[in-house]
Amino acid sequence: MKKILLSLLGVCTALSLLAQEFEYEYEGQKIRYVVVDETAKTCRTLEGMELDCLEPPYASAGNYVEGALILPSVVVNPQSGEEYTLVSIGENGFIGCRGLTSVMIPESVESIGYDAFSYCTSLELVSLPSTLKTVKDGAFSTTPLLSAVTIPESLTVISDGLFAGSGLTSIFIPATVSEIGENAFWQCNHLTEINVSEANPVYASVDGVLYNKDVTSLLSCPGGKSSLVVPDGVETIVSYALGGNSGITSVALSSSVKTIEEFAFERATGLTSLSFGSAEIESIADYTFFGCTSLASINFPSSLTTIGNNVFDGCTSLASVNFPSSLTTIGNYVFSGCTSLTSVNFPTSLTSIGNNVFDGCTSLVNIDLGEVQTIGKSCFNNCTALKEITIPASVQSIATPIFEGCQSLKAINVEEESEMYASLDGVLFNKDITALLEFPRGRNDLSIPASVVEIGPGAVSGVTLPASPALSENIKAVGAGAFKNCTGFDTLTIPRYIESMGENAFDCPDVTSVYYNMPEAKSLPVNPFGDIMPAQSTLYPPKAVAKYLRSYSPWNKFKKILSYEFEDGVEDVAADFDSSLPYMILDIAGRFIATEINALPAGVFIVRQGDTARKIIVK
């Protein structure tokens, strides 16, 4: 009986909730509403629904309308006849109503929800009531035809991104506004002036630019301005102050400026000139000039010591940079994607450059590293025009690989005085030539010295080799991605005494045969072959270990496992091989190499005499 009562109660509750939503027609527009407070008899417009999509708008409207929308202050539920006062516009309520041209919001409304009228691309006119207290983030964003809005004195906060991407040409901030959020006017590229009531205790306007009251912080420069001279006394340019401005072409800083916050000029796509003047700025924050695609050159102030992450990322017109002698640190991705940058000269004061600093600088041909001590990972990746580079003796740490995708690079040189690194025939090694750290991607003549016991992570990745890499029996470790995406060969021989192989170490798309020379079966903690290569390849292990490999990862991922059996090999060919009988020499894949055994390099080979084949190891 108790269960039946609970079920009936649930049904009644559900019906009650459904009854809270109703449709009411006014001035030719049918709008759906939801009761907010039954006792107070208040309601709001129906909220929209967020969408999982890649294209805007990212929600569907609670109500889809076109033309002029006039909302009444009092609406009637046609089912009950009850009257309700409209107090709120639901979030995403009218998002994406591309045919909506005007909105009249009644004097009863106190709040407008998130993105309520966002992406209403035909919206030209909005009338806000004097009762309005709250407007949430992005409520009128991406409304390119909305040229004017009067902010009522009842409103105290202009929220984040409220008018971002709108068509505003001017805006007046009343005395009552005490807070303006980030990106409130982002990409308002027709906005020429932001005016502020003189009675406002928090904000001020100088020449149509928004500042704090005492004009020490520049808060927002209208996107329709073409130039800006920052007045004396301004100490800080805050985040997004000029972000998204396509109209601004030149900015001159006053000597009083000490701080430029992150994203301050982000995507100011028209900016061509920036003068630091005599400003004593010590640090440039992350993403400050990110995506400033028209900025062609920059001269830093002599006081600068630190450049943050991604500062000039995507500045595709930047062709020259002059660093001051005070600079000590450059962050990650600072010049990534600066496709016009041709030459870089670091001052001797610079000690550290971060990860991916010049990644994708496809025109970079000349680099002077000064006396830098630390070079971050992937620092010069995809610098496709770079042909040669010299690592100074001052370098103590290189987070290799740093030259992946540098398809023109022929030589990585190292100053002889270096205590950490060495170059042998233009290839980068550690000082004692026991670790191959980086092979130039513009070459294919890979030759690994017998002293090498380790191939570093990504050391040879992406190189087209004319033959299978000759990995000597001395090699004990091959790092992650060491030969990843190497092409041009179909056979791979795993060194007999190898102890570790990193993830994707041998992920080579052309390989179809892999020879397993280790004397015992081993399960590996990571997959050194990727997913595609094993699925198309045959693994050739010794007969003694083949049956075990079929249950070990990643060996069990291979398309086939075919065992082979040779006589024990010899280490000294001259002593153990009868060269008086006719023979021929094959590589481990069975391909003919030579008929002269004394000229063989170090490696594993097959010597065939008549019907007999034996494996030999040349050291």
Ranges of each domain in the chain:
20-146, 444-564, 573-618
Nearest-angstrom CA–CA distance, 456 and 527? 16
**In the structure, what pLDDT confidence band is assigned to residue 573 with cuts at 50, 70 and 90?**
very low
Phi-psi region of 67 (alpha: psi -120 to 50; beta: other; left: phi over 0): left
Nearest-angstrom CA–CA distance, 523 and 549? 8
CA distances for 118 relative to 47, 97, 275, 282, 600, angstroms = 13, 8, 36, 40, 73
- Least confident range of 12-16, 364-368, 601-605: 12-16
Q: What's the topology of domain 20-146?
A: 3.80.10
Nearest-angstrom CA–CA distance, 421 and 415? 9
Report the pLDDT averaged over residues 516-530: 88
DSSP 484: T
Look at residues 612, 603, 569, 418 and name the one whose alpha carbon lies nearest to residue 492.
603
Structure tokens at 112: 């407008």
Whether the ω angle into residue 401 lies within 30 degrees of 0, i.e. cis, is yes
* CB 241, CB 221: distance < 8 Å: yes
| pLDDT for residue 135 is more than 90 | yes
> Most distant CA pair in the chain: distance in Å?
112
| pLDDT for residue 9 is more than 60 | no
Number of residues in the chain:
619
Average pLDDT of the chain? 90
Helix (H, G, I), strand (E, B) or coil at 283: strand
Q: Which run of H or of E encompasses 548?
A: helix 543-549
Q: Which run of H or of E encompasses 549?
A: helix 543-549
Helix (H, G, I), strand (E, B) or coil at 371: coil
* CB 237, CB 260: distance < 8 Å: yes
Structure tokens at 549: 């490999």
- Phi/psi of residue 121, nearest 5 degrees: -75, -10
Q: For the whole model, what pTM was predicted?
A: 0.83
| pLDDT for residue 406 is more than 70 | yes
| pLDDT for residue 45 is more than 80 | yes
Which residues, in sequence order, are bridge partners of residue 23?
32
Strand 74-76, strand 603-609: pairing:
unpaired
Between 3 and 327, the more confident residue is 327
CB atoms within 10 A of CB 565: 9
Res 52: pLDDT: 79
Res 393: pLDDT: 98
Class of the CATH domain delimited by 444-564? alpha beta
| pLDDT for residue 516 is more than 60 | yes
Structure tokens at 442: 């513009």
Res 214: pLDDT: 97
Nearest-angstrom CA–CA distance, 329 and 343? 18
Residue ranges of the alpha helices (H) in 167-242?
none
Nearest-angstrom CA–CA distance, 616 and 608? 11
**Do 20-146 and 444-564 have matching folds?**
yes
Burial environment of residue 590 by CB neighbours within 10 A (0 to 12, 13 to 18, 19 or more): exposed
| pLDDT for residue 484 is more than 90 | yes
Res 598: pLDDT: 60
Structure tokens at 98: 């591309």
**In the structure, what pLDDT confidence band is assigned to residue 11 with cuts at 50, 70 and 90?**
very low
Res 381: pLDDT: 98
* CB 401, CB 424: distance < 8 Å: no
Residue ranges of the alpha helices (H) in 313-385?
none
Nearest-angstrom CA–CA distance, 181 and 511? 56
**In the structure, what pLDDT confidence band is assigned to residue 613 with cuts at 50, 70 and 90?**
low
Report the pLDDT averaged over residues 251-275: 96
Nearest-angstrom CA–CA distance, 124 and 25? 23
Q: What is the amino acid identity at position 413? A: N
Nearest-angstrom CA–CA distance, 529 and 406? 23
Res 201: pLDDT: 98
Which residues, in sequence order, are bridge partners of residue 70?
104
CA distances for 291 relative to 245, 324, 395, 405, 511, angstroms = 11, 23, 31, 23, 41
- Least confident range of 99-108, 380-389, 437-446, 605-614: 605-614
Helix (H, G, I), strand (E, B) or coil at 391: strand
- Phi/psi of residue 564, nearest 5 degrees: -135, 165
CA distances for 411 relative to 77, 399, 442, 479, angstroms = 79, 18, 8, 22
DSSP 564: B
| pLDDT for residue 268 is more than 70 | yes
Rank 52-61, 402-411, 546-555, 598-607 by mean pLDDT and report only the highest: 402-411
CB atoms within 10 A of CB 489: 19
* CB 116, CB 93: distance < 8 Å: yes
**In the structure, what pLDDT confidence band is assigned to residue 42 with cuts at 50, 70 and 90?**
very high
Res 10: pLDDT: 45
